[in-house]
């Protein structure tokens, strides 16, 4: 059948059957810059396998050997000092020297301290000091009498920390018909393969930050294990929303430059390496940028540990900062800073179960292909206090 058209012809008159429009025969995938930098850094540092999905490590640390008084001793010669309950009181053995950090008074312990009652000789080489409730005391050595016997032995044990390998699985599938159909964007199977790997690594990255250690059905033949992540494992936490006064702030979420300096010295670099890596959200990155402009000289460190970092030189130590891409995506993480001492962090995977692609997982008779990425892994913190977590840092 002939269809007659009068007048001028233009491109808008033709449909897709006659006018095949031009397409860039590729697709572009928008993703955060470097979606799994924690995994990248852990990969650079090496990993360790485990032959059991539950793995444990021993932690030990030298005690501070500090005590706190529980009641005032108004007289300058009272020999009985009351302490608040604490395990470190046991280090105040007969012959130990104890100093009051408020007054500088030196005391000499005359009997082993086992509970909250400490017996001492007061004002060694000094005069007229008193003890207030809440005074901080510390042990400063030992003074033995000539010819005396050996002092009471005091020891301290390690603690055992455990975590689990979690099974991560990410599958993708296409029908056999789709596998053999030409698409403008290329092979759908290859496209899904790339996307699935990125999602798989993102899942592991998020679990290592936000996961909580747990085991469901431990006594059954098919338990489910959850690996504990950094945020739910660390004890060295500063919440600027509620603790703003301790970091120089005047309102919730406010930490000053001086307050941050004090935190670096007193907490963040108190233990561990003199160079640590900080993953930050965009608000914290902006806060650091303002501080850097005022005093610090930021230095770009290209390709360090496989991830681009920025070094902030401080008196306490070097902070290597990376704006974590996923902190932009996850609610509440814009104002977060997670500081990691990488020598004390290990990627653990079950023997033979590190990240791998398992192909052709479809059931017999199905006219499709199913592939999956599978990883059974977890995170191990060999120490806890060397890492720090700051949250709620909104302004400087």
pLDDT in tens, 156-185: 888 899 999 999 999 999 998 988 888 877
Helix (H) or strand (E) holding 262: helix 257-263
- Sign of the Cα pseudo-torsion (68, 72, 77, 83, in order): negative
Checking 249-253 for CB contacts under 8 A at 24+ apart, the result is 252/392, 252/394, 253/335, 253/392, 253/393, 253/394, 253/395
Alpha carbon distance 149, 194 (integer Å):
72
What is the number of residues in the chain? 396
Confidence check: pLDDT of 151 > 60: yes
Confidence check: pLDDT of 335 > 90: yes
Confidence check: pLDDT of 9 > 60: no
Band (312; pLDDT cuts 50, 70, 90): confident
pLDDT tens-digit readout, 200-240: 999 999 999 999 999 999 999 999 999 999 999 999 999 99
Q: Would you state the pLDDT for residue 189?
A: 87
Helix (H) or strand (E) holding 69: none
Closest CA to 82 of 126, 127, 116, 45: 116
Q: How far is CA 233 from the centre of its chain?
A: 8
- The mean pLDDT of 15-35, rounded to a whole number, is 54
- Residue 348 burial (C-beta neighbours within 10 Å; 0-12, 13-18, 19+): buried
Q: Which residue's entry shows tokens 């080489």?
A: 125
The CA-atom distances, in angstroms, between 141 and each of 93, 94, 108, 110, 240 are 11, 11, 10, 14, 37
Q: Would you state the pLDDT for residue 251?
A: 95
Give bridge partners of residue 20 from the DSSP assignment.
none
Instruction: Please state, as a whole number, how many other Cβ atoms lie within 10 Å of the Cβ of residue 208.
Output: 23
Helix (H) or strand (E) holding 59: strand 54-59
Residues 330/368, Cβ–Cβ less than 8 Å = no
pLDDT tens-digit readout, 255-292: 999 999 999 999 999 999 999 999 999 999 999 988 87
Confidence check: pLDDT of 299 > 70: no
Q: Would you state the pLDDT for residue 25?
A: 45
Alpha-carbon dihedral 49, 55, 58, 59, rounded to 10 degrees: 90
Confidence check: pLDDT of 21 > 60: no
66: which 2 tokens? 């500090």
The CA-atom distances, in angstroms, between 342 and each of 48, 56, 100, 302 are 14, 18, 37, 18
Q: Would you state the pLDDT for residue 315?
A: 82
Residues 6+ apart with CB under 8 A from 111: 94, 119
- The mean pLDDT of 90-114, rounded to a whole number, is 94
Structure-model confidence comparison of residues 118 and 9, the more confident one: 118
How much is the mean pLDDT over the chain?
A: 87
pLDDT tens-digit readout, 32-63: 555 678 888 887 776 888 999 999 988 888 88
Confidence check: pLDDT of 108 > 60: yes
Band (28; pLDDT cuts 50, 70, 90): very low
């Amino acid at each position: 059948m002939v269809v007659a058209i009068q007048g001028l012809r233009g491109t808008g008159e033709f449909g897709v059957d006659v006018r095949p429009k031009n397409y860039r025969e590729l697709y572009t995938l928008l993703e955060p810059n470097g979606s799994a930098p924690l995994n990248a850094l852990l990969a650079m540092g090496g990993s360790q396998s485990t032959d059991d999905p539950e793995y444990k490590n021993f932690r030990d640390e030298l005690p501070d050997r500090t005590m706190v008084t529980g009641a005032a001793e108004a007289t300058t010669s009272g020999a009985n000092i009351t302490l608040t309950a604490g395990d470190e009181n046991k280090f105040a053995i007969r012959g130990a020297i104890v100093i009051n950090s408020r007054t500088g008074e030196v005391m000499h312990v005359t009997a082993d301290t086992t509970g909250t009652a400490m017996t001492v000789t007061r004002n060694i080489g000094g005069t007229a000091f008193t003890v207030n409730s809440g005074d901080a005391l510390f042990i400063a050595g030992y003074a033995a009498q000539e010819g005396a016997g050996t002092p009471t032995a005091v020891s301290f044990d390690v603690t055992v920390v455990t975590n689990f390998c979690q099974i991560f699985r990410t599958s993708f599938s296409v029908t056999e018909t789709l596998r053999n159909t030409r698409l403008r964007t290329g092979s759908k199977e290859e496209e899904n393969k790339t996307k699935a790997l990125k999602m798989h690594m993102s899942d592991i990255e998020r679990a290592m930050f936000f996961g909580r250690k747990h085991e469901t059905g431990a006594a059954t033949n098919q338990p489910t294990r959850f690996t504990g992540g950094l945020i739910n494992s660390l004890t060295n936490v500063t919440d600027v929303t509620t603790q703003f006064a301790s970091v120089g702030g005047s309102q919730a979420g406010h930490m000053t430059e001086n307050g941050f300096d004090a935190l670096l010295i007193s907490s963040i670099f108190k233990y561990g390496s003199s160079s640590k890596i900080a993953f930050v959200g965009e608000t914290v990155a902006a806060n650091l940028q303002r501080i850097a402009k005022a005093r610090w000289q930021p230095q770009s460190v290209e390709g360090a540990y496989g991830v681009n970092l920025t070094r902030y030189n401080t008196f306490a130590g070097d902070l290597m900062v990376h704006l974590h891409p996923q902190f932009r995506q996850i609610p509440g993480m814009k104002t977060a800073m997670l500081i990691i001492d990488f020598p004390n962090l290990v990627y653990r995977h079950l023997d033979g179960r590190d990240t791998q692609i398992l192909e052709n997982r479809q059931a017999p008779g199905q006219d499709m292909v199913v592939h999956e990425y599978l990883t059974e892994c977890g995170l191990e913190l060999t120490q806890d206090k060397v890492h720090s977590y700051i949250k709620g840092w909104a302004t400087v």
